[in-house]
Amino acid sequence: MGKTKDNPGPLSRRPDNSAFKQQRLPAWSPMLTANSVLPFFYIMAVVCVLLGVWLLITVQNTHQLKLDYTQAGSCNICFEKRKVRANANQDCKCTVVLNIGNTFKGDVFFYYGLMNFHQNLRQYMDSRDDAQMMGRTANLKNPSAYCKPYITDDHGLPIAPCGAVANSMFNDSFKLTYHSAEGSPDVHVPLFRKGISWYTDKNVKFRNPKINNETLTQVFEGTARPPYWQKPVYNLDPLDPNNNGFTNEDLIVWMREAAFPNFKKLYGVLNRASKPFTEGLPPGNYTIEISYNFPVEYFQGRKEVIISTISWFGGQNNFLPIAYLVTGCLVLLLAIILTVFWWKFGKNGQNMEE
């Protein structure tokens, strides 16, 4: 098997005396001795606890407000209305009221949340065509078979964007108004509706097809809008012509499927350019005017809005610091138990040293 050298000397077949072949490679043979394991455990415990405490303090300084508006207030009417599919194209608007006690300092983020919506179903997730959405003209009118059954509409026109994911896009919209305490006029809370998606999504993954300087409308001519949509894809954001087509940020955010059935997605970021929002969201009463389009009754889902500030590691998240604290305590406990065992019953230490 081994290489045999050609020269037929008396020791020609003697294996080489290399450290590798003789399995004598210099090596480090660590062993779990008390000297290394126990200090490690104590250090880990301390690190975890300290980290936990720090994270906890950080989390305490963030604010979050959650409001389930599925059937809240006047939205109940819309909720009932959306139960019937025939009303799908009828507008329904409702308002919910919320109160903010403390100033939401810094950047404030507006999310919409959906409960019990399975964006993570395999068939659902597959039902999209990234090639179409990255702006390949060839794929625009020839969507992938993955998009089934949302490839073509009843007239045989190709759907753009095709597939179940795009079709089920969340299409409620919100208008937030601030009611300051002293009877001053209500202020519309300005939101950035752009810059809410990943850079790569916005700039690489989702591109509009480009054909000889044609306008977006012309480009999408010959395609149908997804059946559940009220507006065609080139007209999703009437206010900003650049925020249309496949690069519409709401679409992009929606197309990034959530991993779990309860999720939130970013709707907008507070524009702090003008007063009184330069510091964040001031305390007081707010109303949200909701254009209630998305039906959740079919799948017994819930809808909510979430307003939140974030820290360096993200939004309000109580689990992480607590998990660290608990882990740190457990490790400490484990370390103590190990020490006791080692001290009392261990054979590794003093009596084996001879």
Applying the rule CB under 8 A, the residues between 5 and 34 that interact with other proteins are 10-17, 21-23, 25-34
Give yes or no for a cis peptide into 238 (omega within 30° of 0). Answer: no
Give the list of residues 6+ apart from residue 127 with CB closer than 8 angstroms, or none.
146, 147, 148, 150, 163, 164, 165
Assign 67 to helix, strand or coil.
strand
Phi, psi of 205 (to 5 degrees): -75, -35
Restricted to residues 200-229, the positions that interact with other proteins (CB under 8 A) are 200-201, 204-205, 228
Task: Please tell me whether residue 137 binds other proteins under the rule CB under 8 A.
Answer: no
Choose between 232 and 261: whose C-beta lies nearer to other proteins: 261
Choosing from 6, 86, 183, 199, the residue that interacts with other proteins (CB under 8 A) is 199
**Least distance (Å) between residue 339 CB and other proteins:** 11
Assign 71 to helix, strand or coil.
coil
Distance CA 49, CA 43 (A): 10
Q: Residue 311 CB: number of other CB atoms within 10 A?
A: 16
Per-residue exposure over 210-245, b if at least 16 CB sit within 10 Å of its own CB, e if not = eeeeeebeebbeebbbbebbeebbbbbbeeeeebbb
**Least distance (Å) between residue 167 CB and other proteins:** 7
**Least distance (Å) between residue 177 CB and other proteins:** 22
Rg of the chain on CA atoms, in Å: 30
Choose between 241 and 349: whose C-beta lies nearer to other proteins: 349
Restricted to residues 24-83, the positions that interact with other proteins (CB under 8 A) are 25-34, 37, 40-41, 44, 48, 51, 55
Choose between 155 and 319: whose C-beta lies nearer to other proteins: 319
Choosing from 173, 235, 291, 327, the residue that interacts with other proteins (CB under 8 A) is 327
Task: Please tell me whether residue 118 binds other proteins under the rule CB under 8 A.
Answer: yes
Choose between 102 and 116: whose C-beta lies nearer to other proteins: 116
